[in-house]
Structure 1
Amino acid sequence: MRRVISILLMTVLGLSFMMIFHSSNVYACSCAQPQTVKDQFSRSEAVFSGKVLEVKEQKNLNGSMTKAALFDVSRIWKGGTESQIIIHTGSGGGDCGFKFENGKEYLVYAQPSTMYGDKELLVTIICDRTVALDQAQEDLAVLGEGKLPTEQVHLEGELSRTQPFIWVAVIGVVVIGMTFFLVRRKWRK
């Protein structure tokens, strides 16, 4: 019985470490020639201008670090009608991440992608035409006036949600602790 419990404990420990510390794919950022405003618009799912309310670093289950930026939307050219939106990007340093700054306004082109995780998110990268709003005159001349958001939403709490890998780690520690407790209790009998 001791041998079975030891094997079970080693298996749980091994799986826990593999889940927490598994390697992830790394991609270098390489941008081709810049796209025209019309080309970028047609391949984007969301095109809007807005002010960054919050930028938060996130660690994904695959081990990659990304950033999520919460925007207060001021104008919409393509996409939803919501007053706030969350856009994902890399953390920088070769992963094509765009550096958003709190309180600054941007013109954002975003498209769904699994580039920064396992599920599809709205993503923008440095290869897109996303730019600070005060540097977007060429784009704004082509895009026109845009529309105001019509649906008021509040996504402030969305960036603060606990990351899934934390739950995996907590469950692993609980399982290991319970196994250790049961093994120790069995040995005392």
Structure 2
Amino acid sequence: MIIKKRSIIVGIAAIIIAVSVFTAPRSALACSCVEPGSVQETMKRSDTVFEGTAISVKSITSDIFRSSGSRIKASFQVNEVWKGHVAPHIEVLTAGSEESCGYSFKEGERYLVYARATGSSLEASLCSGTLLHHEAEEHIALLGSGSLPPHPSSEAQQQNDTSPRSIVIASIAAVLAAAIVFALARSRKRLKSKT
């Protein structure tokens, strides 16, 4: 009798699970955006507005923990800036799927990016106003002429460049450091062998 009741309960549970699996909605879009405003309104609510080419699009979440809300980092080569302090190369974060309002950036594509600052990062979404370049002609016309992103000064570039002289000096210092370490190790070895 107990076995029969247990079988009935297990059977009912299996039917409930099967029905819920087969009748559940296949995909539910959780992202809904407020009706887009004018170009001026979109620019006003953005912290950064630029046009650039996506040169890299990578997940910053491990595959094991990836979900629709996982973060994607898109790196851009910036061509023109309308708002914000934008370097020639900049990174923008977005959610990993459209269900979480993530924008699907693709490497090699040009975009007009409207982004918000969140801490030290910039974020774009389906709701931010970001568009593919060929879909943004009206926006770009209304935005007018932007500016070029600032390039590092020649003095900063000279500091970053490695001259042959600095390479030679660094090489000599490394050889001297290695010789000193070798000599110290050898003298310690001699002292241990005498004792």
Aligned counterpart, 1:51: 53
Equivalent position amino acid for 1:38 in 2: Q
- SS, match of residue 40 in structure 2: helix
- Identity, in percent, stands at 34
CA distances 1:15-63 after superposition (whole Å, capped 9, x unpaired): xxxxxxxxxxxx9321111121101101111100000010000128997
Equivalent residues of 1:84, 1:152 under 8 A apart: no
Q: Does 1:122 align with 2:122?
A: yes
2:72 to 67, 73, 84: 67
Aligned counterpart, 2:33: 31
- 1:138-177 equivalence runs, <5 A: 138-152=138-152
Q: 1 or 2, which has the higher helix percentage?
A: 2
1:108 to 113, 122, 129: 113
- TM-score normalized by the length of structure 2: 0.57
How many residues align structurally? 122
- SS, match of residue 51 in structure 1: strand
Could you tell me how far 1:81 is from its partner in structure 2? Answer: 4.0
Query: Unaligned stretches of 5+ in structure 1?
Result: 1-26, 114-118, 154-189
Equivalent position amino acid for 1:70 in 2: S
Could you tell me how far 1:121 is from its partner in structure 2? Answer: 2.2
Query: Unaligned stretches of 5+ in structure 2?
Result: 1-28, 154-195
The change in CA–CA distance for 1:35 and 1:55 in structure 2 (over 3 A counts) is same
**Cα distance in structure 2, aligned partners of 1:85 and 1:109:** 13
**Cα distance in structure 2, aligned partners of 1:120 and 1:150:** 19
- RMSD between aligned residues: 2.4
- TM-score normalized by the length of structure 1: 0.59
**Cα distance in structure 1, aligned partners of 2:71 and 2:87:** 23
Could you tell me how far 1:93 is from its partner in structure 2? Answer: 4.0
CA distances 1:109-155 after superposition (whole Å, capped 9, x unpaired): 00023xxxxx55211100121001111111011100100112249xx
Q: Does 1:88 align with 2:93?
A: yes
**Cα distance in structure 1, aligned partners of 2:136 and 2:58:** 25
CA distances 1:63-113 after superposition (whole Å, capped 9, x unpaired): 741100000000000011410110000111410000001011000000023
**Cα distance in structure 2, aligned partners of 1:102 and 1:152:** 25
**Cα distance in structure 1, aligned partners of 2:109 and 2:98:** 21
Give the number of the structure whose alpha-carbon radius of gyration is greater: 2
